[in-house]
């Protein structure tokens, strides 16, 4: 069974630009969550999608948005990039059931210059 796949692995963008990150979950998983990882803040929850609907949202500005497609693949978009958006962005998918663990992709390393 293939794991969670995130593309691209690395990105360098300029301040003010926008970026789109992609995540393909494990086959059969309908829940996809996004996290931002920075050295000082650890993992911060961005949002979660389930069956194409945003189910939860973290405390991030509206510049951060996402969506999920009918095949459960998800995209995350960040507009008007700021230097502070430089981070590792992790995607995780889960199967159904409250006790199921999340499986993570390797992440997309975004550098804003």
Instruction: Kindly list the residues in this chain that would bind other proteins in the complex (CB under 8 A).
Output: 4, 6, 31, 33, 35, 41-43, 45, 48, 50, 55-56, 58, 90, 92, 98-99, 101-107
* Lookup result for tokens 């459960």: 72
Cβ closer to other proteins: 48 or 85? 48
Minimum distance from residue 24 beta carbon to other proteins (Å): 13
Cβ closer to other proteins: 41 or 70? 41
Facing residues of 35 across strands?
45, 90
Question: How far apart (Å, rounded) are the C-alpha atoms in residues 61 and 69?
Answer: 22
Listed in sequence order, the residues at least 6 apart from 59 whose beta carbon sits closer than 8 Å to its beta carbon are 44
């Amino acid at each position: 069974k293939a794991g969670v796949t995130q593309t691209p692995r690395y990105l360098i963008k300029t301040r003010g630009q926008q970026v789109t990150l992609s995540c393909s979950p494990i086959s059969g998983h309908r829940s996809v969550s996004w996290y931002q990882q920075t050295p000082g803040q650890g993992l911060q929850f961005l949002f979660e999608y389930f069956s194409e609907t945003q189910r939860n949202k973290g405390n991030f500005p509206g510049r951060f948005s996402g969506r999920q497609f009918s095949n459960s693949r998800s995209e995350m978009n960040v507009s008007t990039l700021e230097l502070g958006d430089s981070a590792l962005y992790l995607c995780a998918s889960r199967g159904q059931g409250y006790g199921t663990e999340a499986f993570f992709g390797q992440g997309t390393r975004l550098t804003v210059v």
